[in-house]
Structure 1
């Protein structure tokens, strides 16, 4: 049996996703700051690309949270 669609806590869940993604982004930035000279260019680019995707995800989460607030 399928669960009913309960959207009451969507904003809270979205905020948790935002907070978690921001924490990962900051952790990766700190890692780059501390180890930039020790890692390969390829690894640095991979981390930076992942952080770019994280920033896009955060923007999407924020937009979705605003939509939820209007409903």
Structure 2
């Protein structure tokens, strides 16, 4: 799924989906969305869980990381 296909989501990496009322995870380097095994977008009810998944999904050094 490309960024253009989900314009209603906002944020960087962890995005709030207002229609589904959950967080979605996007790799900002590749534009790829984190999906379930079934192929649908994976949703998280907790920002902390989504943030943890994003840190694994988008693997590159962030400011302050060594």
Q: Structure 1 length normalisation: TM-score?
A: 0.27
Larger Rg: 1
Q: Structure 2 length normalisation: TM-score?
A: 0.28
Q: Which has the higher contact order (CA 8 A, sep 6+)?
A: 1
Higher helix proportion (structure 1 or 2): 1
